[in-house]
Amino acid sequence: MNCKEFSSVLDALARALDATGAFAARDQIKQFAKVFDAAPQSKVSNLAKCIASFPDSATTGSPNLGDIARLLSAFSDLFSKTAKSAVLTDLDIIQKLLRNRDSIEINALTKMVTDAPAPNRSVRRRSGSSLRDDLVIHYKDKLEASLGDEEKFTTVYNDLRADRAFGKPEIIALAKEMTGSGARTEDSALKKIWNRHRSLMVFKAKSRATGGRSAA
């Protein structure tokens, strides 16, 4: 389901809360719906992944995402009896996200999604491709920040390999971004990414060895 459709589900919930006089809860749901209005054609699962990649330093306060999680949980029985399977699937995804980021203020999250920068233009979207630019940029930043650190780089490298949303198009685009050279297969792209890190590790090791001999 896309975010526009999910927003309509939240709108229906807000109307129900309004009818019962739960105005504070209504306003919280309406504010949360703005998150999905900011990316109406995106899939809910994709938006959730983007939000999960946001820094943990977001503004905390009240009302927060934990409050939304509790509201959705309170209506779980109703949803399970009346909602379509696609709605239930996305509700489950969103509730897990809310529980993991429960202290973030609703307004802060809305602003983060609304003000999110446009994808890096150096990563080009091919016609008809399902390339996830946001994930390419996310992993590029994390990998480049950990270059030369064996433990950190290996952790990020393993994370991207385990990420089901990060497929062959993304891996090839990432290799191009990090090394400046193209790759035709997923394996060759992964090898190029790893070799950039490995080359830096070898260089640093040689520099330390040379420095040690010079000191002697």
* Nearest Cα to Cα of residue 143 among 191, 178, 185: 178
pLDDT category at 117 given cuts 50, 70, 90 is very low
Q: What is the mean pLDDT of the chain?
A: 81
Q: What are phi and psi of 197, to 5 degrees?
A: -65, -45
**pLDDT at 101 (0 to 100):** 82
What's the rounded Cα separation, in Å, for the pair 180 and 174?
A: 10
Instruction: Say whether pLDDT at 216 is over 60.
Output: no
Instruction: Say whether pLDDT at 121 is over 70.
Output: no
In DSSP terms, 79 is beta-bridged to none
Region of residue 148 (phi > 0: left; psi between -120 and 50: alpha; otherwise: beta): left
pLDDT category at 39 given cuts 50, 70, 90 is confident
Dump pLDDT digits (tens) for 125-141.
444 456 788 888 988 88
Q: What percent of the chain has pLDDT over 90?
A: 22
CB 43 within 8 A of CB 2: yes
In DSSP terms, 43 is beta-bridged to 2
Instruction: Say whether pLDDT at 68 is over 60.
Output: yes
How many C-beta neighbours within 10 Å does residue 205 have?
10
CB 148 within 8 A of CB 204: yes
Instruction: Say whether pLDDT at 73 is over 70.
Output: yes
Average pLDDT over residues 19-35: 92
Secondary structure of 91-138 as H, E, C letters: HHHHHHHHHHCCCEEHHHHHHHHHCCCCCCCCCCCCCCCCCCHHHHHH
84 token code pair: 């379509």
Residue matched to tokens 């630019």: 133
pLDDT category at 122 given cuts 50, 70, 90 is very low
Dihedral sign from CA coordinates of 99, 103, 106, 111:
negative
- E strands within the chain? none
pLDDT category at 171 given cuts 50, 70, 90 is very high
Instruction: Say whether pLDDT at 177 is over 60.
Output: yes
What's the rounded Cα separation, in Å, for the pair 186 and 169?
A: 8
Q: What are phi and psi of 143, to 5 degrees?
A: -70, -45
Collapsing DSSP to helix, strand or coil, 148 comes out as coil
**pLDDT at 211 (0 to 100):** 62
* Nearest Cα to Cα of residue 114 among 191, 167, 3, 36: 36
